[in-house]
Amino acid sequence: MTPERRTFAGMWMTVGTKFLPFADAASAQLPLGRLLRLSLFQVSVGMAMVLLTGTLNRVMIVELGVSAWLVALMVALPLVFAPLRALIGHKSDTHRSVLGWRRVPYIWFGSMFQFGGLALMPFALILLSGDSTGPAWIGHAGAAVAFLLVGAGIHTTQTAGLALASDLATDETRPRVVVLLYVMLLAGMVVSSLMFGWLLSDFNTLILIKVIQGAAVVTMVLNVIALWKQEARNPALTRADRVSPSFSETWAQLVQDRGTVRLLIAAGLGAAAFSMQDVLLEPYGAEVLGMSVAETTRLTALSAFGSLMGFAYCSGQLSEGGEPHRLAGTGAVAGVFAFALVIFAYPAGSVAAFCLGAFLIGFGGGLFAVGTLTAVMAIARHHDGGIALGAWGAVTATATGIAVAVGGAVRDVVSGLAESGQLGPALTGPAPGYGAVYHFEILLLFATLIVIGPLARHTLATPATTPSTKFGLAAYPG
């Protein structure tokens, strides 16, 4: 190698991981290209989530004229499968097959559920809108089945996919693998929301059918690419005569550690705290601060940008030996300041404070999610990975669904009391309803800090003895 090339290679190895941070998520058995390919299952999950909670939510209410309560019920149906994620993870841990795969069958069947639900959905929605001579219950039943299938597919695919990523990652690279998977989920949501908005700009039912069924095809393509040659076949792990503990025995072993139970409780409280305002942030900006549609639309981008900054900060801290429980706690503290800014924006009449609060909500939520998931993946090293990650997913998804429902109910009840004058002359208009939700979220975040605090102290008191190593661009042969 010439001196010039040696100098250039040295410079590249020095700055490479700074500008390509996910290079450090790679390892010898999980190179960066393979890891990026595996993360495509998160893109398909993000696309399905946007379709269910964003695009179809609006199309069903506005263009198809479906009742809002029925739309809310349909969107909530996928949460039926959220508590089953722990069982799905356990089944993937103990799967029996002559093929020697544990995770691949569950990711495959999850992808098929997503595909089937998305293929059925547009026709069910057309029937639901009343464009049919048949009985109305057929449209209701078809839409319910479609939403249930997509929900089952999302939860199955994501649980088994995260377990496979945990299996393939090393102890040192696992935190950065978590961050990369979260970034890919966010990327899938952002890109698909932009694409759906562009494709449906000139709306008609034929275009809706094409878009949703196109999403079904893209889901299968992405997940097949993600699965291809990822999990090595190991018949010894899946042989039929292998004795495996039951779900109840495995669950009892998992929760016998009080630290695990405390972490799951903290994850549920934090997920509820950050998600309770998911459907209220933009209406708050419009009703209370008088923001335009264009201005409130930018709030989603602000929160997404905050999440990306949270992921980047978390990745850097974990790479330097940062403690995941403390990072999750830092995210909760950022959330307290975020919701305080959102509340303060109304009496101050400050849109800037509100926008900063929206950014910090994304930043704190990103920190908290990555911190708790990293901690759970560390627990998965000492247990079957599927059930540990499934338990985390079940707790956070269920808490999110309940929190969104509770947040909407609290807002409606308090707003009704304020409008009727029962809260006094100082609390009138729409602001008290939203403010009650944001104050409730702050209380939940304080409860989260109380629960997760002892875990951080315990971890700091028993530091790891193994030195931290990195595997990035410098470790690739050149």
Q: What's the pLDDT tens digit per position in 335-380? A: 999 999 999 988 888 888 988 998 999 899 988 988 888 888 777 6
Which residue type does 354 have? F
- Dump pLDDT digits (tens) for 34-74: 778 888 888 898 888 878 776 776 677 666 776 656 766 77
How many helical (H) and strand (E) elements, i.e. helices and strands, does the chain have? 19, 0
Higher pLDDT, 234 or 396: 396
Range 433-445 average pLDDT: 90
Say what percent of the chain tops pLDDT 90.
12
Q: How far is CA 379 from CA 230, 232, 259, 384, 388, in A?
A: 23, 23, 10, 9, 7
CA–CA separation, 319 and 323 (whole Å): 10
Q: How confident is the model at residue 477 (pLDDT cuts 50, 70, 90)?
A: very low
CB 37 within 8 A of CB 229: no
Higher pLDDT, 126 or 213: 213
- Dump pLDDT digits (tens) for 13-44: 444 444 444 545 555 566 677 778 888 888 89
Higher pLDDT, 306 or 298: 306
Beta-carbon count within 10 A of 264 CB: 24
Q: How far is CA 364 from CA 273, 368, 370, in A?
A: 11, 6, 10
Range 93-105 average pLDDT: 75
Residue 333 has pLDDT above 90, yes or no: yes
H or E element that contains 105:
helix 104-128
CA–CA separation, 338 and 302 (whole Å): 13
Q: How confident is the model at residue 397 (pLDDT cuts 50, 70, 90)?
A: confident
Q: If we measure between CA atoms, which residue out of 182, 178, 176, 180 comes closest to residue 469?
A: 176
Q: How confident is the model at residue 139 (pLDDT cuts 50, 70, 90)?
A: confident
Helix pair angle (324-348, 293-319), 10° resolution: 160
Residues 6+ apart with CB under 8 A from 114: 44, 48, 149, 150, 153, 154, 157, 216, 219, 223
Residues 6+ apart with CB under 8 A from 267: 372, 376, 392, 395, 396, 399
| Residue 103 DSSP class | S
- Dump pLDDT digits (tens) for 204-255: 778 888 888 899 999 999 999 988 877 766 666 666 666 666 667 777 777 7
Query: Which of these ranges, 50-59, 415-424, 463-472, has the smallest mean pLDDT?
Result: 463-472
Higher pLDDT, 271 or 391: 271
Mean pLDDT across the chain, nearest whole number? 76
